[in-house]
Each structure stands twice: as structure tokens, then as C-alpha cells.
Amino acid sequence: MNIQSSCKDMCAKLGFGCVQLEEEEPPMMALHTPFGFYGGDPFVVYAEYLDGGSKIRFFDSGETLFHCFCRQISSFHLRDYQVVKAAIKQPDIKVTHEGEIEGTFEIANMASGFAIYIDALMSLARWEFDNAGTDFAVREPSLIGDTRLYLNAMKPDVLAVKSTHKAAGVSGRQYGFDLSQGDTQIDVISCHRNASSSELYKLVDLRGNALSANMPIIVVVDDRLLPEQADREVAVIGQYAEAWPMRKLIEAAAGGGLTRH
């Protein structure tokens, strides 16, 4: 066996491969990798050349989020896939309106771009593992609705409403918010390491952009089940935005005043 065939054989045994799906130019290819979800299912990855072959686009044709749906995760499309986007830490990776995970790179950066894309899929695999069985349509509105109720009790003259504001981070990624009250944007998160880490990443990205560095932002953390853990999360998030434990917000709405972090 010569060196070239030996390398091809090794790549195949490691789980790497490429199959051209179309004879037309530019071709579309299905890429085989050894990487996949926690249950063992492989990632589905396609590639196509763009702009006369000067760029490469990696995408999954919606298969990743379909896999999440099969794990009983539902309503992740709400607010333009915000919970999915929060789970992806790589700014070059996008979620399309159709639910595709995609990344486009210059040909000279194909290898590093592929690594970034696979890293994003692995982030989503972890997110899927942590959120199996979650219906975001049930969890999110209940928590957000409670927060809105208490905020309006605190400031009946300036009502909290569903936010339509978008802000860009230093990475260029656009972020939305759960609520707004006057000029203040408000996010509401559960006491969970994924929720807090995603929120922290978002805040650091926003504070790095001069246009959003001083934007008034409040993050309400639901501390009603895990108060000690929530206190730690509030302390960290409070370095980048006002952070309020839900129980303190409830006390303030009842007229007890609010200690801000």
C-alpha cells in the first residue's frame, strides 16, 4: 500500500469522507465525520462552493434541529431561534429562518472554518443533551409573564412590554431581549448553568460594542428553586448588567424595595 492510499484508508477508518451529490457545477457534497450527538448519531454536514469557488458554505439542511426535535425539544424556533443562537458561541455560524445551521468562509480559511462549524454543532449537541424534553413555549412565557407582572407592579406608570429592540455585539451578532420598560431592556433566565453562561456571553459581546456598551440592561434570575446557585449567577452577571433575583423582585413589587446588584 503506497503512502497516498494509506492516508486515504486511514481517513476513511477515522470516519472522514466526502460524497459528491450533484454532477453540476459547483458541486454539492455530503461530508462524513466521526463527530456526532451524545447518543451516537453522526452530524449531518453538507458543503457547497459559492462566488465562483472563492468561498465554501457548510450547512446541515436543518438536520441538527430536527434531531433536537426528535429528542422532545420543542418551540426552540421562538423569537427567531433565540435559544438556539444563544447555545452557539461561534459568531461566524448562523441560524437561518428555515432552521439551518450554516457558516460561510473564504476558501483560504476552509480548514479553520470547518473546525469552527463542527465546534458549533458540538455546542448544540451539548445543548440538546441538557434540554431534552423541554418545551420552550411552556417554560419561557410563564417565567417572562411572571416577571412582567412584578415589574408592572413596581412601575405602573412605565409598563413592561414585549421587547422588539435588537442590539449588535462586538462580534456583529444581533441580540433581542425578553421585555423592555422605558429605555431599559430586560432578559429573564432560569437558574441553570446553560442559561447563565449564554446570557453572560451575550452581555460581554454587547458591552464590547461602543454602541451598546452603556445600554441599560436588567437580567432577572429565577432563584425560587435554587437560591444559592442563583446568588452566584447574579453576582457574575451583575458585573455586566443590573442583575435581580426573582424573589427580590417579588418583594419589591409588594412594596419592600429592591436591592440592586
Q: Which of 62, 66, 51, 148 is closest to 104 using CA atoms?
A: 51
Q: CA-to-CA distance for 107 and 90, rounded, in angstroms?
A: 19
Architecture of the 136-256 domain? 3-Layer(aba) Sandwich (3.40)
The answer on pLDDT for 89 being more than 90 is no
* pTM recorded for the entire structure: 0.61
Q: CA-to-CA distance for 197 and 203, rounded, in angstroms?
A: 10
User: For residue 190, what pLDDT is reported?
Assistant: 82
Q: CA-to-CA distance for 245 and 191, rounded, in angstroms?
A: 10
Predicted confidence (pLDDT) per residue in 58-79, tens digit: 999 999 999 999 988 888 887 7
Q: Which fold has domain 3-131?
A: Yope Regulator; Chain: A, (3.30.1460)
Domains of the chain, residue spans: 3-131, 136-256
Q: What is the DSSP string of 185-198?
A: EEEEE-S-HHHHHH
Strand locations in 154-226, DSSP E?
A: 161-162, 167-168, 174-175, 179-181, 184-189, 217-221
